[in-house]
Amino acid sequence: MILFAQTSGNHSTNSGSWTPIPGLSLNLPKVAGEAVLLILNVPNPYATGSNFPGGNFGIEINGQIQSPFAAFTYNQQAPGSFGRIPTTLCVPIQLSGPQSITATAVWSGIRGSTVNIDSPATLTMVI
C-alpha cells in the first residue's frame, strides 16, 4: 500500500525549530509488525539569508522527530543568488505491535535563514 500527501502553493519558514510543512502529514490506521518506508521529497527548495543559508528537513512519527534528517547549505556566506537544492529523505521504521501512526514532514532554517518551497513537495508512506 502507498499513501502520499503533496503541498500546493508557496510555503516558507524561518523557524530555528522543527515546524510542520503545511499539507505534509499522513495517518496510518492500526497495523501490526509492518515495515514502513517514509520518503520526503522536496525537489526545488531554496534558502535566503546572509550567514551560509540553508534548511533542515525531517519526519516526525506521532510527534517524535526521527533521527535521520536531511539538510543543505550554500557554500557562500551571502550568495549572490539562491539556487535550488533538491532534497530527499528516506526514513524506515518497523512497527512492533498494533498501533496507528501519524507521520509529519518538518523543516527549519539554518543560522536564521528562510527556507522556501514554491513547487510541490511530497511525503510518501510505503507499507
As a whole number of angstroms, the distance between CA 112 and CA 55 comes to 10
The C-alpha cell 551571502 sits at: 78
Which sequence spans correspond to the domains of the chain? Answer: 2-126
pTM: 0.94
In this prediction, residue 127 carries a pLDDT of 85
Fold (topology level) of 2-126: Jelly Rolls (2.60.120)
Residue numbers in the chain where pLDDT is lower than 70: none
In this prediction, residue 5 carries a pLDDT of 98
In this prediction, residue 28 carries a pLDDT of 85
Distances (CA, A) of 111 to 1, 47, 58, 79, 80: 39, 11, 17, 14, 17
Contact assessment for residue 24 and residue 40, using Cβ atoms and an 8 Å cutoff: yes
